[in-house]
Amino acid sequence: MMYSLEAGGKRIRPALVMTAAEAIRGSSEARAAARPVACAVEYVHTYSLIHDDLPAMDDDDYRRGKLTNHKVFGEAMAILAGDALLTHAFSLIPQSVRQGVPLEAALAIVEDLSLLAGASGMVGGQVADMQGEQGMTTVKELEYIHLHKTSDLVIFSVKSGARIGGATPFQLEQLTLYARNIGLAFQIQDDILDLIGDESKLGKKTNSDVNQQKVTYPYLIGMQESKALVDRLTEEAKSAVSNAGLSNPSLLLQIADYLVQRDH
């Protein structure tokens, strides 16, 4: 569990939980109250990477420049480390009540995590991804895969932070739209970087999608159109943030830009 948690990564999801909380409430105490849920989402993300890398799934040897969990500890321990990370994530949400998060918000966050990370969310996206084949998948199906495999956990991150910050229903709706769009843009950017990125910066081999015959946006709609789509989604995400009437929107806007400009 610790090996994979400490393997690095951009920590974008926990940053979004804390930033969304602060953006709504406009105070740094909201960031502190959001910390247990921020950890929870990184636990869930890390479990999903460990299981995705397994030989029965993507069969990857490297992740973030280090050997994958099962290459170091064996398949059985990697499966169990993933199971334990997922399970432990949920114990962090009740802990946030001791940081001042209301009971109703904490229970709504439990339900959000369960629905957005499960069969109707992230796991459902992974299943669709396993079943997709080059030449057999439409843009609509690929959007389904990316929206669930990636956006849903990003939506959870932003929405849980917004709940902790005390968002109105309208703010929740706008921030959900922001998260959906940056999640989709993030995944398309991943597809692009897999083709034209720098292996040493990415910490993994490029062209893995091509070698595994994965369907990607550049494969389906071309590189230029994919880059234009990333830009369009990012602009729409930023508009949603501007519409929401937040105390402190600047960091959410910066994260949206960072995700387009990143090279790893």
Helix then strand then coil, % of the chain, to nearest 5: 75, 0, 25
Within 8 A by CB and 6+ apart from 1, the residues are: 81, 84, 85, 88
**Which of 108, 210, 221, 229 contacts a second copy by CB under 8 A?**
108
**Rounded Cα gap, residues 222 and 151, in angstroms:** 21
Residues 26-55 that bind a second copy (CB under 8 A): 47, 51, 54
**Rounded Cα gap, residues 253 and 109, in angstroms:** 23
Q: Is 2 in the site for a second copy (CB under 8 A)?
A: no
- The SS3 call for residue 69 is helix
Min CB(207)–a second copy separation in Å: 22
**Rounded Cα gap, residues 155 and 41, in angstroms:** 11
C-alpha torsion sign, points 5, 145, 152, 122? negative
Q: Is 144 in the site for a second copy (CB under 8 A)?
A: no
Q: Is 97 in the site for a second copy (CB under 8 A)?
A: yes
**Rounded Cα gap, residues 21 and 107, in angstroms:** 16
Stretch of 7-15, 95-103, 213-221, 255-263 lying at the interface with a second copy (CB under 8 A): 95-103
Q: Is 98 in the site for a second copy (CB under 8 A)?
A: no
C-alpha torsion sign, points 26, 29, 35, 37? negative
Min CB(225)–a second copy separation in Å: 31
**Which of 6, 10, 56, 245 contacts a second copy by CB under 8 A?**
56
Q: Is 14 in the site for a second copy (CB under 8 A)?
A: no
- Give the position of tokens 């990143």: 262
Q: Is 57 in the site for a second copy (CB under 8 A)?
A: yes
Comparing CB distances to a second copy, the nearer of 93 and 167 is 93
**Which of 5, 123, 220, 253 contacts a second copy by CB under 8 A?**
123
Comparing CB distances to a second copy, the nearer of 74 and 222 is 74
Q: Is 75 in the site for a second copy (CB under 8 A)?
A: yes
Residues 244-263 that bind a second copy (CB under 8 A): none
92: its two tokens: 């962090």
Q: Is 127 in the site for a second copy (CB under 8 A)?
A: yes
C-alpha torsion sign, points 135, 262, 205, 124? negative
Within 8 A by CB and 6+ apart from 79, the residues are: 51, 54
Q: Is 77 in the site for a second copy (CB under 8 A)?
A: yes
Q: Is 124 in the site for a second copy (CB under 8 A)?
A: yes
Residues at the contact surface with a second copy, assessed by CB under 8 A: 1, 47, 51, 54, 56-57, 74-77, 79-80, 82-84, 86-91, 93-95, 97, 103-104, 106-108, 110-111, 113-115, 117-119, 123-124, 126-127, 130
